[in-house]
């Protein structure tokens, strides 16, 4: 069945450092992989997504890489800022979206 795993579950970095979150998915049928950020008490919001026809996508300090052969994708945040602190969810779209369990990122000023 469709399953998405995500690591690490918690991540703490110093302000200005980079953060990397890794995800794997079980079913190769997915061609769309969004990443969502959820701040405490708020709704999930899309921060970046990638489709299977590209291996990497970048948007300012955020980048996502995709390896379809290995069925894994990663989120990279550079020059982290305190406002990046939140829970990040990777997801795989199988007509319905299956979310990973989340990574709680803390950026220490």
Residues binding another protein (CB under 8 A): 6, 31-32, 34, 42-46, 49, 51, 89, 91, 93, 95-102
Closer by beta carbon to another protein, 33 or else 77: 33
Rounded to a whole number of angstroms, the minimum distance from the CB of residue 37 to another protein is 11
Rounded to a whole number of angstroms, the minimum distance from the CB of residue 51 to another protein is 8
Residue by residue, DSSP assigns 1-68 as: ---EEEE-SEEEEETTS-EEEEEEES-TT--EEEEEEE-TTS--EEEEEEETT-SEEEETTEEEEEET
Q: Are 53 and 43 in contact (CB under 8 A)?
A: no
Closer by beta carbon to another protein, 73 or else 89: 89
Rounded to a whole number of angstroms, the minimum distance from the CB of residue 16 to another protein is 28
């Amino acid at each position: 069945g469709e399953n998405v795993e995500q690591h690490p579950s918690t991540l703490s970095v110093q302000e200005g450092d980079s953060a990397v979150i890794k995800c794997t998915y079980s079913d190769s049928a997915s061609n769309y992989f969004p990443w969502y950020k959820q701040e405490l008490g708020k709704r999930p919001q899309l921060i970046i997504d990638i489709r299977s026809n590209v291996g990497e996508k970048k948007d300012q300090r955020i980048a996502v890489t995709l390896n379809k052969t290995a069925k894994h994708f990663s989120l990279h945040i550079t020059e982290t800022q305190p406002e990046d602190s939140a829970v990040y969810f990777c997801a795989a779209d199988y007509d319905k979206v299956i979310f990973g369990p989340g990574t709680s990122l803390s950026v220490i000023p």
